[in-house]
Structure 1
Amino acid sequence: MQIANITIPLALAILFAGNASAQQVVKIGTGSPLSGPSAHLGKENENAARMAIDQLNAKGFMLGGKKVKLQLLSEDDGGDPKQGTAVAQKLVDAHVNGVVGHSTSSTTVPASKIYNDAGIPQISPAATAPAYTRQRFPGAFRLVASDVKQGSTLAKYAIDNLKARHIAVIDDRSTYGQGLADEFVKGVKGAGVNIVGREFTNPNATDYTALLTSIKAKKPDLVFFGGLDSVGGPMLKQMKALGINAMFMGGDGICNESLPRLAGDALGEGKVVCAEAGGVTGPQEQAMLEFRTRYKQQFGIDIQMYAPYVYDAVMVMATAMQKANSAEPASYLPELKKIRYEGVSGTIQFEPNGDLKDAAVTLYTYKGGKKLKITVVR
C-alpha cells in the first residue's frame, strides 16, 4: 500500500524525523499596564522585552547545543492588583519558563506569590516596594533600588541641598506610593524637619483641591508625593492654580519624560526633584546611550524610564538558562542567583534576598521642559 507515492514505513520515518527536529519554544511572560493611566510606561516595557527576545532569536539562541526559539507572552495587568494576579495565573497556566515583570509594585507583590507557588522565577525591572523581596521567595529578583534607598536618598537631598524644613507629604495609597512616602518620612525624621501634613489621594483621582487647600494653609517649603506621573502632573497644575510655590519632590513614579506634558507650565524651572531607581556612571553611560539610540530607531520614540531594565531582565534570564543548558526553572534558578552580568543598566548581581547588589538611585530635575540629571547615588 502507498500514500501519495510514499510507502507507509517511509512516511512514518519522515513524520518522526520531523517531530524529532521540532524546535523547542521557551516562553517568557511579562505583565505591564497596557491600559489605564500608566499605559505609556507599560507599552515601553513590552517594547523593550520584545526587543531583547527578537535580538536573541536573531542571533540563534542555543540551549544544550540546540537552537531554541524564545517567545514573549505579554499580558495587560492594568496596574491593578486583582488584574495582576489574574495575569499571573494566566501566565502560569501557559507554562511560561520565566517572568519579566510586573512593572508596578501594586501588581508585582501579589503576583509574586502565584509565581513562587508555581516555582517560576520572576525578575521585576521596576517594582521598588521593599515588601516584594522581604517575602524571601527564592525566585523573586529586582533590577532596581528599592524604596528604602529611594526614600532615604530623596530625604537626604531635601534636607542637605534644598534646606527643606516644613514638608507636606501626599501619597496615592498604592503599595508603591504609600511605601515610598513612608520611607521618605523615616529619612527626614530627627533632622529638624516638621511634617506639616500627611494627606492621601488615589491613582484615579483628578481633583486635589481639598487636600492642597489644607496643605497651603500650613505653608510648606516642599511637597513630597508618592505616586505616579498621571497624578503628579495634574497635581502640579492645581498647586500652581492655588498659589502653592513649594518645591515638589517624588520618586521614579513621576520621574520620566511624560511629566512635562502632564504638568505643562506648572513644571517650573528646577522646581521638581525626583529619583529614578537606577543609574549609570562612567563607561556605562556610553552603553546606556547606545541602547537609547537603538530603542528610538526601532520604535520611533524616546525611552521614558525602565526600558533598559526590562531589556536587561530578559537578557539576564536568558543568560542563566544558557549557563544551566536548560530553560526548566528549577535548573536555571541556581545560575540566576549567582549570576554576574554586564548589562546596559550596569553590573547585575543579586543579594541573597533577590535585591540588586550596589543599587543606584539617580536624582533629576526639570529645566526648559527637559529632564536633567543631578547626580547618581550608590
Structure 2
Amino acid sequence: MQLKLTVAAAIAAASGIAMAQDVVVKIGHVAPMSGPQAHYGKDNDNGVRMAIEDLNAQGVTIGGKKVKFEIQTEDDAADPKQGTAAAQKLCDSKVAGVVGHLNSGTTIPASKVYNDCGIPHVTGAATNPALTKPGYKTTYRVIANDNALGAALALHAADKLKLKKVAVIDDRTAYGQGVAEIFAKTAKAKGMQVVDTQFTNDKATDFMAILTAIKAKKPDAIFYGGMDAQGGPMLRQIEQLGMGDVKFFGGDGICTTEIAKLSGGAKTLGNVICAEGGASLDKMPGGKAWKEKYDKKYPNQFQIYSPYTYDATFVLVDAMKRANSTDPKKYVPMLAKTAFKGVTAQIAFEPNGELKNAASTLYTYKDGKKEVVK
C-alpha cells in the first residue's frame, strides 16, 4: 500500500512539474460580438480560435517552455468608445498581443491605446488607410486597405463597364466614408460624373428618401460605403423604386454571404460588384483546404475575414518564436521583420505596418451566391 502511494505521489509530482512548465499566453481578440454586425465578429472570432487550436496542437515552445495559447475575446459592438474600453481591458489583462478590431472606426482609436501600453495588434479587417498614418510600431494590417479597394471598384466601373454617372452614399463611419471618398476621387479622375452624394448611418434601415433623391439624377450606378446590415435593405428598396438596372458597388463591408439573406431575395443583388482585400479563397496559398476545415468546424458561419484573423494570430506567434519571448517589449520589433507564409498570402510588412504587395479581388452575386468577377 505504501509503495502504491509513493508511486502515485511521484507521478503527481512529476505531472505537477510538467504542468508548471506550461506557460499560458493570452491572445486578445476584439470585434462586434453583439448587434447587427455580430456575424462578422463571430466569423473573426472563429478564425482566431482555429489558429489557437492549431498552434496548441503544434506544441509551441518559446524561451525553452511549452506555451499554451488562450483567447480573450472582447465585444466592441462596432462602437468607438466601447472599442477603446475593450482595448484598455486587454492592456490591463496583460495579453501578449491582439487580433482586431473589425471596424476602422473602432480600430483607429484603439490603436493609440495599444501603442501606449506597448501591446501589438494585427487587424485582418479594418481597412481605412488612416490606421497606419500615426506610424505606431504596434499596428499592423494583413489585408489591403481602402485605397486599393475603392480604386479597384472605380477603375472597373469606368474601364470595364464604361459607366458615366454614379451616386455615392456612405454611413459616416471611418470605414464607409473613407472607402466612398476614394471611390469618388478615382471615379472623377477617370472621367465619371458623381451626380449625387448622400449620407446615412450604420444603424439605419430606411433609405427611401435618399434613394428617391438619387433616382431623380438617373445614375448608372450607386456606390455604398458601409456594411451589409444596411446594404441588404438598400438593395430591396432600390428594387422597390424601379431602379433594377442600376449597378451597386461597395467595399468589403457588403461583400458577405449574409447580404444575400439581408437583401431578401431582391433581384438587385445580381447588380452588386464588391471588393475584398486579398486573393479569392481558391487563389490563396492555403485557402481551399483551410475553408473546408473551417466549414466542418463552423458550418454556415463564414463571412469574409476569418482567414485573415487566422493569419494575424499566427503572425503574432511567429514574431514571439523568432524573438524567443512572449513579452511584447521583446517581440514587437520582430513583427516588422515578418516573412510568414500564411493561408491568405506571403505576409511581410511595409515600414508603416501595411501589408506588402496587397492583392484585391472583385466579386458579384449569381443566383444568390458570391463569385469572382471574371
Scaled by the length of structure 2, the TM-score of the pair is 0.93
- Comparing 294-303 with 342-351, which one deviates more in the overlay? 294-303
The alpha carbon displacement at 1:19 in A equals 10
Q: What's the counterpart of residue 278 of structure 1?
A: 278
Conserved? CA contact 2:260–2:269, under 8 Å = no
Matched AA of 2:274: C
Identity, in percent, stands at: 49
The alpha carbon displacement at 1:22 in A equals 4.4
- The separation in 2 between residues aligned to 1:274 and 1:105, in whole angstroms, is 18
- The separation in 2 between residues aligned to 1:354 and 1:289, in whole angstroms, is 27
The alpha carbon displacement at 1:265 in A equals 2.7
Deviations 1:123-144 (A, max 9, x none): 0011000110011111100011
Q: What's the counterpart of residue 214 of structure 2?
A: 215
- The separation in 2 between residues aligned to 1:59 and 1:20, in whole angstroms, is 17
Conserved? CA contact 1:280–1:346, under 8 Å = no
Q: What's the counterpart of residue 199 of structure 1?
A: 198
- The separation in 2 between residues aligned to 1:369 and 1:20, in whole angstroms, is 51
Describe how 1:147-186 pairs up with structure 2 within 5 A: 147-186=146-185
- The separation in 2 between residues aligned to 1:288 and 1:171, in whole angstroms, is 31
Conserved? CA contact 2:27–2:98, under 8 Å = yes
Q: What's the counterpart of residue 78 of structure 1?
A: 77
- The separation in 2 between residues aligned to 1:212 and 1:20, in whole angstroms, is 62
Deviations 1:249-283 (A, max 9, x none): 0000000111111113324474110001111588x
The alpha carbon displacement at 1:20 in A equals 9.4
Conserved? CA contact 2:223–2:249, under 8 Å = yes
- The separation in 1 between residues aligned to 2:322 and 2:329, in whole angstroms, is 13
- Comparing 186-195 with 336-345, which one deviates more in the overlay? 186-195
Conserved? CA contact 1:268–1:367, under 8 Å = no
Deviations 1:312-344 (A, max 9, x none): 000111111011110111211121111111111
Q: Secondary structure at 1:204's aligned position in 2? A: coil
Q: What's the counterpart of residue 347 of structure 1?
A: 346
Q: What's the counterpart of residue 261 of structure 1?
A: 261
Structure 1 portions without partners, runs of 5+: none
Q: Would the alpha carbon gap of residues 366 and 337 (structure 1) be closer, same or farther in structure 2, given more than 3 Å must change? A: same
Matched AA of 1:240: E
The alpha carbon displacement at 1:295 in A equals 0.4
Q: What's the counterpart of residue 143 of structure 1?
A: 142
Matched AA of 2:313: V
Matched AA of 2:22: Q
- The separation in 2 between residues aligned to 1:124 and 1:158, in whole angstroms, is 29
Conserved? CA contact 2:248–2:273, under 8 Å = yes
- The separation in 2 between residues aligned to 1:306 and 1:190, in whole angstroms, is 30
Q: Would the alpha carbon gap of residues 91 and 263 (structure 1) be closer, same or farther in structure 2, given more than 3 Å must change? A: same
Matched AA of 1:69: K
Describe how 1:48-87 pairs up with structure 2 within 5 A: 48-87=47-86
RMSD: 2.1
For the pair 1:251 / 2:227, whether they are aligned, the reply is: no
Q: What's the counterpart of residue 122 of structure 1?
A: 121
Conserved? CA contact 1:280–1:360, under 8 Å = no
Structure 2 portions without partners, runs of 5+: none
